[in-house]
Amino acid sequence: MALNHYVAICRPLHHSTILHPGTIGCIGIAVLLHGLILLSPFPILLQSLIFCQTTVIGHAYCEHMAVVKLACTETTVNRAYGLAVALLVVGLDVLAVGVSYALILQAVLKVPGTAIDLVLASSTAPKALALLLVHAHEIGYIVCLTQMFFIHAFSSMESSVLVAMALNHYVAICRPLHHSTILHPGTIGCIGIAVLLHGLILLSPFPILLQSLIFCQTTVIGHAYCEHMAVVKLACTETTVNRAYGLAVALLVVGLDVLAVGVSYALILQAVLKVPGSEARLKAFSTCGAHVCVILVFSVPGMFSFLTHRFGHNVSHHVHVLMATLYLLVPPALNPLVYGVKTRQIRQRVLRVFYVKGLV
């Protein structure tokens, strides 16, 4: 259904050609086989278990894990397969639905990088809320590494998206007549793939390198989420490789992205100052203003957190944790507002609300 909504909203003219009866039939068969193939091993694996005398299921129906808990023999295989299926089904489905609706929201509101913002906020906010509201201070080791990978990988992708937007602004302002030929769908697709691979390839070694470390008994992370350097500092063994690779990735991602954005806006500023009309200059600055605000909101707390880990030994820990949390939670919340102000319909609706309340 999420796919249907995406095609209907983002590709309305091609809906009947993309989702024709043959495609719908294939999707139906895939859904059927997906459930049958993944879940068929459940009863087969349960057949090999030996159950205790007490076989009272504390559910209104025969739920898989409730039945597994009644067994007297080893249930590692059943539990592992059940967990794998749950993560595969729920994880991929939630990811697919989230990406679909993020793309829909991006198409409707013209908000760049919405899918990345959604993943960043989803990786951080639930655990942070659980920590604050119900004092859930514990997190599993594998879950911690997974959260760390998603946070750092998609932060890198967010930075790359900002570079891509700077390139788009440069072409739109400095090469307006060639915009459609330079940034055609093929080029945009290649940029999207490069952004995705850039984050995945550079950040994949983080959890792999952490697996080789031995941690002390005290494993308290002084952050609201599993941040790479915060986890590295808990190790009792040599962490030179981890620290060196983390520093190299940070300098590579931040350094090259800031350089690319800086060069793009230097060329844009040079071109804008040559324009004779003040109205044309104002329009160009307005186009870039929202993007500059997003870059500052994203990069300043991120650079502060990165530098504090390595050089800011005199910075208060509470200030460091606050900035590190704002770095991940504030940009996804502000991006729709910053870009939404530029959308005439949204701006008029907001002004109408304030006008009705007598504030304007």
pLDDT digits (tens, 9 = 90+) for 321-337: 777 777 777 777 777 66
Q: Are residues 58 and 147 in the same domain?
A: no
pLDDT value at residue 312: 63
In angstroms, the first-to-last Cα distance of the chain is 42
Domain boundary among 51, 79, 109: 109
pLDDT value at residue 109: 45
Domain count, the chain: 2
- Helix 2-10 to helix 92-109 angle (10° resolution) is 20
Q: CB of 70 within 8 A of CB of 54?
A: yes
Is pLDDT at 19 greater than 70 in this prediction?
yes
**Helix/strand/coil percentages in the chain, nearest 5:** 75, 0, 20
Q: Please report, for the domain that includes residue 339, its CATH number.
A: 1.20.1070.10
Q: Are residues 21 and 58 in the same domain?
A: yes
Q: Are residues 174 and 252 in the same domain?
A: yes
pLDDT value at residue 212: 83
Q: Are residues 126 and 170 in the same domain?
A: yes
Least confident of 152-161, 228-237, 347-356: 347-356
Average pLDDT score over residue span 36-51: 84
Least confident of 35-49, 236-250, 292-306: 292-306
Residues 6+ apart with CB under 8 A from 338: 290, 293, 294, 297
Is pLDDT at 319 greater than 70 in this prediction?
yes
Owning domain of residue 210: 111-360
Tell me how far apart the alpha carbons of residues 245 and 231 are, in angstroms, rounded to a whole number: 14
Domain boundary among 109, 131, 150: 109
pLDDT in tens, 57-104: 776 778 778 888 888 888 888 888 888 888 777 777 777 777 776 666
Closest by CA to 310, choosing from 220, 218, 248, is: 248
- Length reported for the chain: 360
Q: Are residues 37 and 167 in the same domain?
A: no
Q: Are residues 233 and 187 in the same domain?
A: yes
Q: Are residues 314 and 214 in the same domain?
A: yes
